[in-house]
Chain A
Amino acid sequence: MIRFESVTVTYDGVDVDVPAVRDVNLTIPEGELVLLVGPSGVGKSTLLSTVSGLVPHFTGGTLSGRVTVAGRDTRTHKPRELADVVGTVGQDPLSHFVTDTVEDELAYGMESLGLAPDVMRRRVEETLDLLGLADLRDRPIATLSGGQQQRVAIGSVLTPHPSVLVLDEPTSALDPAAAEEVLAVLQRLVHDLGTTVLMAEHRLERVVQYADQVVLLPAPGQPPVIGAPADIMAVSPVYPPVVGLGRLADWSPLPLSVRDARRRAAPLRDRLAEVRPPAPGPAPAPAAPAATASGAEVGEAAEVAEVAKASEVQGSPGVRRRFSLLGRRRRAVQVPGAGAAGRAESSPGPGPDQPLAAVAAVAALAVRRGRVPALRRVDLTVAPGETIALMGRNGAGKSTLLATLVGLLEPTAGSVHVGGAVPHRTGPRELIRRVGLVPQEPRDLLYADTVAGECAAADRDADAAPGSCRALVSELLPGIPDDTHPRDLSEGQRLTLALAVVLTARPPLLLLDEPTRGLDYAAKARLVAVLRGLAAEGHAIVLATHDVELAAELAHRVVILAEGEVVADGATADVVVSSPAFAPQVTKILAPYHWLTVTQVRTALALAGTE
Chain B
Amino acid sequence: MRGAKGARGAVAAARAGLVAPEAGRRSDALHSGAWWVWALGLATAASRTTNPLLLGLLIAVAGYVVAVRRTDAPWARSYGAFVKLGLAVIAIRLGFAVFLGSPIPGTHVLFTLPEVPLPEWAKGVRIGGRVSAESLLFALYEGLKLATLLICVGAANALANPVRLLKSLPGALYEAGVAVVVAMTFAPQLIADVQRLRKARRLRGRPDRGVRGLLQVGLPVLEGALERSVALAAAMDARGYGRTAHVPVAVRRTTAALTLGGLLGVCAGTYGLLAAEGAGFGLPVLLGGLGAALGGLWLGGRRCVRTRYRPDRWAARAWLVSGSGVAVAGLMIWAASYDPVGLRPGVIPLTTPELPLWPALSVLLGLAPAFVAPRPALPAPAKDAMSSSTNDPTDDLMNDPPKETP
CB <8 Å contact, B74 and A78: no
Q: Which residues of B contact A139 (CB under 8 A)?
A: 24
Q: Knowing A373-B384, A428-B207, A439-B203 touch, does A52 contact B238 (C-beta < 8 A)?
A: yes
Q: Mark A437-460, 1 if CB is under 8 A from B, else 0.
A: 101000111110000000001100
Complex partner residue of A104 from B74, B197, B203, B309, CB under 8 angstroms: B309
Complex partner residue of B163 from A104, A431, A444, CB under 8 angstroms: A104
Determine whether A180 belongs to the interface, using a CB cutoff of 8 Å to chain B.
no
Determine whether A461 belongs to the interface, using a CB cutoff of 8 Å to chain B.
yes
Determine whether A606 belongs to the interface, using a CB cutoff of 8 Å to chain B.
no
CB <8 Å contact, B231 and A90: yes
The CA of A493 and the CA of B306, in the complex, are separated in Å by 44
Q: Which residues of A contact B310 (CB under 8 A)?
A: 103, 107, 117, 120-121
Determine whether A368 belongs to the interface, using a CB cutoff of 8 Å to chain B.
yes
CB <8 Å contact, A156 and B239: yes
Determine whether B12 belongs to the interface, using a CB cutoff of 8 Å to chain A.
no
The CA of A109 and the CA of B307, in the complex, are separated in Å by 10
CB <8 Å contact, A444 and B238: no
Determine whether A62 belongs to the interface, using a CB cutoff of 8 Å to chain B.
no
Q: Which residues of B contact A82 (CB under 8 A)?
A: 238
Q: Which residues of B contact A110 (CB under 8 A)?
A: 307, 309
CB <8 Å contact, A114 and B307: yes
Determine whether A193 belongs to the interface, using a CB cutoff of 8 Å to chain B.
no
Determine whether A484 belongs to the interface, using a CB cutoff of 8 Å to chain B.
no
CB <8 Å contact, A406 and B202: yes
Complex partner residue of A138 from B26, B219, B306, B406, CB under 8 angstroms: B26
Complex partner residue of A95 from B203, B205, B231, B243, CB under 8 angstroms: B231
CB <8 Å contact, A79 and B307: no
Q: Which residues of B contact A461 (CB under 8 A)?
A: 204-206
CB <8 Å contact, A54 and B240: no
CB <8 Å contact, A112 and B235: no
CB <8 Å contact, A447 and B307: no
Which of B208, B223, B404 has the most A CB atoms < 10 Å from its CB? B404
> Closest residue of chain B to A563, judged by CB?
B387
Determine whether A37 belongs to the interface, using a CB cutoff of 8 Å to chain B.
no
Determine whether B355 belongs to the interface, using a CB cutoff of 8 Å to chain A.
no
Q: Mark A89-101, 1 if CB is under 8 A from B, else 0.
A: 0101001111111
The number of chain B residues with a CB under 8 A from chain A is 62
CB <8 Å contact, B239 and A83: yes
CB <8 Å contact, B307 and A368: no
Determine whether B84 belongs to the interface, using a CB cutoff of 8 Å to chain A.
no
CB <8 Å contact, A112 and B243: yes
Q: Mark B142-165, 1 if CB is under 8 A from A, else 0.
A: 000000000000000000010110
Q: Knowing A112-B306, A140-B73 touch, does A88 contact B196 (C-beta < 8 A)?
A: no
A:522-580 near B, CB below 8 Å? 563-565
Shortest beta-carbon distance, B72 to chain A, in Å? Answer: 7
Shortest beta-carbon distance, B274 to chain A, in Å? Answer: 41
B:213-239 near A, CB below 8 Å? 216-217, 219-220, 223, 228, 231-239
Q: Which residues of A contact B203 (CB under 8 A)?
A: 406, 408, 428, 432, 436-437, 439, 445, 502
CB <8 Å contact, A366 and B240: no
CB <8 Å contact, A373 and B238: no
Shortest beta-carbon distance, A609 to chain B, in Å? Answer: 47
The CA of A142 and the CA of B74, in the complex, are separated in Å by 8
> Closest residue of chain A to B311, judged by CB?
A117
CB <8 Å contact, B243 and A412: no
The CA of A57 and the CA of B234, in the complex, are separated in Å by 10
Determine whether A248 belongs to the interface, using a CB cutoff of 8 Å to chain B.
no
CB <8 Å contact, A88 and B238: yes
Q: Which residues of A contact B253 (CB under 8 A)?
A: none
Q: Which residues of A contact B72 (CB under 8 A)?
A: 140, 143
CB <8 Å contact, B240 and A120: no
Q: A83-B243, A142-B74, A372-B383 are in contact. List 15 more A-B contacts (CB 8 A).
A: A53-B238, A54-B238, A83-B238, A88-B235, A90-B234, A96-B232, A97-B235, A100-B161, A108-B309, A112-B305, A120-B309, A157-B239, A373-B388, A457-B204, A563-B387
A to B CB contacts below 8 Å, 21 in the list: A83-B240, A90-B234, A90-B235, A95-B232, A98-B241, A100-B161, A111-B308, A112-B241, A113-B243, A114-B306, A138-B24, A140-B72, A372-B384, A407-B202, A412-B406, A413-B404, A428-B204, A428-B207, A432-B205, A447-B216, A563-B390
